[in-house]
Structure 1
Amino acid sequence: MNEKFLELTEEKQMRIIDAAMEVFGTNEYKHAVTDEIARKAGISKGLLFYYFKNKKSLYQYVYQYCLQLLVDTIDEAGVKNKTDFFEIMRFGADKKMELIANHAYIMEFCMKAYYMNDENIAEKITQDIQQKVNTMFTDYFSHIDLFKFKEGIDPFYIFQMLQWMADGYIRTKQKTKEKLDINEIMEDYDRWEEMFKQMVYRKEYL
């Protein structure tokens, strides 16, 4: 990325980032057209490539921006002060909702990135995501109140199961070409959360 991009006003930077999220989020990477990104951002294609060397460079920048935005949003909100496992899970989900309200296509972009299969960029993206998932539990759940769990229950496996369920849910939606509806997703998540809480928490904490 050309450092001149960071010299732009925040409003101009966000026009380009949001345009890229929309085009990359609604198309497979190879079908995402940089002319369309430039048009939606209100700049010329030449200027877009002045700021970013190529399509891959732009994509990787926007991906890193989204990842850092999510981490900063959760960290700044004091999630590490919470000790209830399901409260932390819900808190993270609510913060993602706030991000979606401010960036209309951030969910579509992140989902496309998560399931990226373009060989030119998929390996690096997959490594980044896996590394973040591997550290997420330690970062946000290491201080939870373990006494709330029934004997023999490991919260890490509950965390993994919820992730796997969400992964399968989204893959099914994508296979059937259904549009991802955040409100519908959260309604289903509420049901999963209640079901798991009943299974793993001691009665006095339900």
Structure 2
Amino acid sequence: MNKRFEHIDINNEKVYRIVNSAFKVFSNNDLEKASTNMVVTQAGISRGLLYHYFKDKQELFDFLLYFSVKVIMIDLKENINWEDSDILNRMRQGLIIKLQEIKRFPYMIDFYAKYGKLTRSIIDSQTEEIFPGIREKFYTYNLDFSQVKDDIDIEKMISVITFTLKGIINEYLDMTRTSSENFEMKLLVNKCDEYFEFFRKQFFK
């Protein structure tokens, strides 16, 4: 699938506008009802520009999957401090990268929530194709677990932390979308940091 989109510059401003608008349109509408006309209107571009990049709605949808995987994987690969051996520090770095992408593409997480189960195998295969082994590397490479309490199941610990952080993010995003409050990344990071401190006390020696 990736070769279909290799010619598209994911950093292009026009592509950025199309992607941001498409995430919103597909998130707010069922797949059958979402249309390229909606995307064009939302993005404030011409139909010709949209079709310059994508031949139809399905190809645009496929690109959103490709795009979301690639930008996050690039950020993880380039911005994680792989020399830091602390798992909580690494998960915090991964969290901040994810939040930065949510700030850039506010409806990307809604897109995943709506279509993630249907597209999980595609997302997994693209992740492996773009950066082989990145997920295993994130949770294993150069990490020192010797400070974790002896009776702690590390895999379960990681799962608990992951689901907790996901819940905090979703709750915060729901709150900002149903009120007049804007997305304040600093506030969300501070809230998550309180939990990281809690995790360290509970799981570490």
Instruction: Give the TM-score category using the shorter length.
Output: 0.7 to 0.9
- TM-score calculated relative to the size of structure 1: 0.72
The structure-2 alpha-carbon separation of the partners of 1:100 and 1:149, relative to structure 1 and needing over 3 Å to count, comes to same
Q: 1:76 maps to what in 2?
A: 78
The structure-2 alpha-carbon separation of the partners of 1:139 and 1:9, relative to structure 1 and needing over 3 Å to count, comes to closer
Q: 2:54 maps to what in 1?
A: 52
The structure-2 alpha-carbon separation of the partners of 1:11 and 1:173, relative to structure 1 and needing over 3 Å to count, comes to closer
Paired positions, count: 191
Q: 2:120 maps to what in 1?
A: 126
State the Cα deviation string for residues 70-109 of structure 1 (Å, max 9, x = none): 11111112432221111001111122233334x242xx22
Counterpart residue type for residue 145 of structure 2: L
Output aligned runs, 1:168-183, within 5 Å.
Answer: 168=167, 178-179=175-176, 181=183, 183=185
The structure-2 alpha-carbon separation of the partners of 1:89 and 1:78, relative to structure 1 and needing over 3 Å to count, comes to closer
The structure-2 alpha-carbon separation of the partners of 1:195 and 1:2, relative to structure 1 and needing over 3 Å to count, comes to closer
CA contact (8 A) 1:4 1:51 kept: no
SS, match of residue 49 in structure 1: helix
Structure 1: distance between partners of 2:200 and 2:73: 25
Q: 2:137 maps to what in 1?
A: 139
State the Cα deviation string for residues 123-181 of structure 1 (Å, max 9, x = none): 3x122445669x6652112121111111122322211112233455567779xx64465
SS, match of residue 99 in structure 2: helix
Q: Name which of structure 1's ranges 86-95 and 108-117 shifts more when overlaid on structure 2.
A: 108-117
The structure-2 alpha-carbon separation of the partners of 1:182 and 1:68, relative to structure 1 and needing over 3 Å to count, comes to farther
CA contact (8 A) 1:26 1:109 kept: no
CA contact (8 A) 1:85 1:144 kept: yes
For the aligned residues, what is the CA RMSD?
3.5
Q: 2:203 maps to what in 1?
A: 200
Output aligned runs, 1:33-112, within 5 Å.
Answer: 33-101=35-103, 103-105=104-106, 108-112=107-111
Structure 1 portions without partners, runs of 5+: none
Structure 2 portions without partners, runs of 5+: 178-182
